[in-house]
Amino acid sequence: MVFSSNVFLFLFLPIFLGLYYLCPNRWRNLLILIGSYAFYAWWRVDFLLLFVAVTLWNYAIGLRIHTHAGSQAARRWVVAGVVGNLATLGYFKYANFGAANLNAVLESFGLEPFLLTAVILPIGISFYIFQSISYLIDVYRKDTEPTRNLIDFAAFIALFPQLIAGPVLRYKDLADQFTGRSHSLDKFAEGATRFMQGFVKKVFIADSLAPLVDHCFALDNPSTGDAWLGMIAYTAQLYFDFSGYSDMAIGLGLMMGFRFMENFNQPYISQSITEFWRRWHISLSTWLRDYLYVPLGGNRHGTFNTYRNLFLTMLLGGFWHGANWTFLIWGAWHGTWLAVERALGVKAAPKLFSPLKWALTLLLVMIGWVIFRAENLEVAGRMYGALFAFGDWRLSELTLAQISGLQMVTLALAWVVIGACGARQFLAARRAEAPLTAVGAGADAGAALQALDLRLLALRGALLLLFCASLLKLSAQSYSPFLYFQF
């Protein structure tokens, strides 16, 4: 089940929210667990058993770590827990990849290939395994108390708004919200608004760009114009698809009284790759920093080791996205630039806007997105060859016959929205740093508040109209899953 489906919007969500608010507070976490399991089982019931097994494993290991806190036994338990989680993720996510590459080596030496029945990748396993690992490590570090309430822990792991594609949540950030959280009409309205915003991003923009991106990356002989069009379109599609999902997840959480961390912060206004990773998929980048980069040594053991740790963190972060050489290369690409920027002393939060730094950063990000999107190295090589051939900048006849005017308008609109939101955030940050003027402050503030109320009312009205239009589009289009479901 996905958020952008009629089954979820008109059946699951209304029933769940209705029961949730009719249910007494003490039973709401149990209802979240039951609803989340039903949400997950809609895909495949058998993999729900794996999900439950992983939950019970981590619940038990967490208690054992706490029981032996501060001893070598606690260390052994956390190692066992992390290894068990990684082994589960490794089998389901990387067994096919490992077998395929092993067979390629065996066949090159004239040996018989290794036979392995294709392993199905459970949806969301990358996210709930990472959340489980962070829980065990936090308990070991004494950053959080383990919960003895199995229902609360299972509900945290299974929480359906973020179950399929994040954000990657941490129990220590939500522990208090599971024992007591506030519910109000204002909070529910904020959540509904955020959900609609994400829905419009996904259905109205990302889904409209998907056929254009698919076409450009499927061309056997793309022109330079085709390749650049595909790269630019995918850069927008991925952002609106994934940030749209995050908005919807955060909105659903607010409707249930939870407040999740933000996952995106206008990443395409970044002026360095370092800044980009503080703005893109924030929950993952902070997870990689706290549970991979820091344990590797961070920047504590000399310059060379710092560069090595940055590179390895991003390499493994890339591989987390999928069992494909393309993701490893993508991770290495970003890891290399992070190390280069660290060597050059690049600041992650510049106070002045530099068009040149911004353009270079965006270009590096887009170049990386090509191999991230490509199905294999052959497709990536074909796209890169066309991108940098600087030959025929015209679109091929196949592309001209395939694309529609609406798709091109949507692409232009997507980049206008990205630019406008980025500029607004940058200007707001600059205004926040400027000193306040006391003269006429009262009258100006009153007028400003009134204008703000009218503006918010107009924006919410426009959002509601766009949401209704997106619902109509959803009903007319074919099934289109979120891009991050594959990870």
CB 198 within 8 A of CB 377: no
| Cis previous bond, 167, omega within 30 | yes
CB 216 within 8 A of CB 265: no
At which residue do the structure tokens 């607010």 appear?
Answer: 254
Q: State how far the Cα of 454 lies from the Cα of 457, in Å rounded to an integer.
A: 5
Residue 343 CA: distances (Å) to CA of 303, 308, 357: 8, 12, 16
Contacts of 3 (CB under 8 A, 6+ apart): 9, 198, 199, 202, 245, 248, 252, 482
CA neighbor of 307 nearest in space, from 345, 336, 281, 285: 336
At 222, phi and psi to the nearest 5? -70, 145
Q: What is the DSSP letter of 11?
A: I
DSSP 306-339: HHHHHHHHHHHHHHHH-SSHHHHHHHHHHHHHHH
DSSP 363-394: HHHHHHHHHHH-SSHHHHHHHHHHHTT----S
Q: State how far the Cα of 376 lies from the Cα of 419, in Å rounded to an integer.
A: 31
Q: State how far the Cα of 216 lies from the Cα of 302, in Å rounded to an integer.
A: 44
Q: Tokens standing for 351?
A: 């106070």
Q: State how far the Cα of 167 lies from the Cα of 125, in Å rounded to an integer.
A: 13
301 is catalytic: no
Q: Tokens standing for 127?
A: 């996210």
Kindly name the residue from 66, 215, 281, 321 that is annotated as catalytic: 321
Q: State how far the Cα of 262 lies from the Cα of 278, in Å rounded to an integer.
A: 11
Identify the H or E element spanning 238.
Answer: helix 224-255
* DSSP-based three-state secondary structure for 193: helix
Give Dmax (Cα) for the chain. Answer: 85
Q: How far apart are the first and last CA of the chain?
A: 16
CB 394 within 8 A of CB 302: no
Identify the H or E element spanning 476.
Answer: helix 441-476
Contacts of 432 (CB under 8 A, 6+ apart): none
CB 138 within 8 A of CB 167: no
Which residues have a catalytic role annotated? 321
